[in-house]
Amino acid sequence: MGILKLSGYTVPELIGGAVVLSVLYALTLAVYRLFFHPLAKIPGAPLSKITYNREVYYAFFRNGRWPQQYSKDHEKYGPIIRLNPDEVHISDPEFYNSIYYMGTKFTKPGFFYGAWGIKSIMTAQSNSVHRFLRAPLEGLFARPSILAMNPMLQEKVDYLVDRATKVSNTSNGKLNIHAVTRAFTVDVIMEMCIGKGLDMLRREDLGKPYLDAVTGKSVLLWVADMYLSRWLKVDAPISRTVRLIPRKWIKKMEPTDIGFFYLYLMGEDEVTRLASLSPEELEKETYGPGKRTNIFKELLKPGIREKRNLSLEYMVDESFFILAAGLETTACTMTKTIYNILRNPDVHEKLFQELKEAFPDINTPMPYAQLDCLPYFSACIKEGLRCGDAVPMRLPRVVPEGGIKYKDYYLPAGTMVSMSAYMQHRDATVFPDPEKFDPSRWLGEEGLQRETYLVALSKGSRSCLGRQLAYAELYMAIAALFRRFEMKLVDVDDKDMVLQHIYIGSFHSNSQRPCKVTLVKRTE
């Protein structure tokens, strides 16, 4: 039997030729990226200059610890490094405002933010589209609106205190701080967005299996989609495929199996229901004893929806992203802040005394508007945000027309450039002894000057929309726990508090012990 031939070549010859051409192409591309690429003069690890696979390796095989690795690259190569063949990372606190500023001309790259496969203010690549989408939401997340939500927040804080009280009444009872703060934040954001929570704080397991799936499997799916988007030049191929699966099939699956998509379905159901109501019926929609409204009821009002031409698909997408963004980031920051306060007795005592002086009656509610006026507590919150690493990922932007210059290096238009809170908050020139949890660094005139370098929630016109909500949650939950309970850490240390994942920080290493505390209810 003869060997199959195509146009005079055998199949093995064709395969061999293809292999040779592939190798030649890879070598030519590597030489170009190393020596002739517009970014060739930017220092960095040779492998990062040649391929994107170094980041892939740290994402999937080193527990997502990419920020820790490129921080080492900065130590070796300096404040500017080539992070990927077409991306530069800068670690220089004085340069942050040159990229992330009000009215920025830097846009967002599609491969990174489009990997979710949804339309939202977070994923919008164009700054004009972002402004258009953000405008109707801005007021709903502004400080006055968050202050008006104090009754709802207090209700959730009371549930949190009830849960802690039950543990304190149990012999040898221990409270898992990360589990309970995740339950708290998801209950708050669900109430705010769609008017009904999941009552995670009232569940025996605090919704842990479900929340683990949301913050574990789903983040890895996004990471995989991001890399495929870059290679296939198609945004979110996996997520788009998943969304084609009939809803009736997905709804039969366990929430733990579908992760973040469960949040998407909840938002979709409620937004679709609200959209089906008449204006009169919509106006009557209220939630809870305080007759609360919710974000998407407000967006669906005729005067807003028609004026902005907001599609139902967009509002479902936005509901998902707000729900997802308000979950793990705040919970991780809260967990690490509580941990750091407890492991520093002097800080713990100062905070308690300030809270006790401001609220002598232990049963008095402690509203956000009063708590954020307490100087030492505010310093603890700021230091908690600095050390929290809730969003350790870099925030890539596309250099606008005309390019930019950093020191002696020119970055042409179209280059991706990024900076990260992870690096900024560890810069010893701004934060001496950066690994130390030291709230006093935020006090006095020097503390005020340092605030410009606190970028946990980013800065500029594309900073975190939910900034005030996050602050309110942090202040009210942490104050309640420290004012009402004596807490002690149990079998946990610094290595257990290292956040995993290169995008949204979370505690997901099998070797890590959860942050647990014993509690004794205070009497005064």
Bridge partners for 317 per DSSP = none
Q: Phi-psi region for residue 414, left (φ > 0), alpha (ψ -120 to 50) or beta?
A: left
Amino acid, single-letter form, for residue 11: V
Bridge partners for 89 per DSSP = 81, 418
Burial class of residue 302, CB neighbours in 10 A (0-12, 13-18, 19+): exposed
Q: Show contacts of 41-45: CB within 8 Å, 24+ apart.
A: 41/409, 42/80, 42/81, 42/82, 42/88, 42/409, 43/77, 43/78, 43/80, 43/81, 43/82, 44/73, 44/77, 44/81, 44/82, 44/83, 45/73, 45/77, 45/81, 45/82
**Does 464 show up as a binding residue in the annotation?**
yes
Burial class of residue 196, CB neighbours in 10 A (0-12, 13-18, 19+): middle
Q: Show contacts of 477-480: CB within 8 Å, 24+ apart.
A: 477/157, 477/160, 477/181, 477/184, 477/334, 478/334, 478/337, 478/338, 478/341, 478/380, 478/381, 478/384, 479/355, 479/366, 479/371, 479/377, 480/157, 480/160, 480/161, 480/366
Q: By 3-state DSSP, what share of the chain in percent is helix, strand and coil, each rounded to 5?
A: 60, 10, 35
Bridge partners for 521 per DSSP = 485
List C-alpha distances in Å: 25 to 7, 22, 40, 51, 382: 23, 5, 18, 13, 50
Q: How far is CA 322 from the centre of its chain?
A: 11
Token pair, residue 513, equals 């012990």
Nearest one of 202, 218, 327, 313 to 267, comparing CA atoms? 313
Cα–Cα distance, 524 to 316 (Å, whole number): 46
Cα–Cα distance, 134 to 256 (Å, whole number): 31
Cα–Cα distance, 129 to 345 (Å, whole number): 48
Q: How many CB atoms lie within 10 A of CB 182?
A: 29
Cα–Cα distance, 524 to 72 (Å, whole number): 48
Burial class of residue 98, CB neighbours in 10 A (0-12, 13-18, 19+): middle
Residues near 324 by Cβ (< 8 Å), separated by ≥ 6?
A: 214, 260, 263
Which segments are annotated as binding site?
Answer: 464
Which segments are annotated as binding site for heme?
Answer: 464
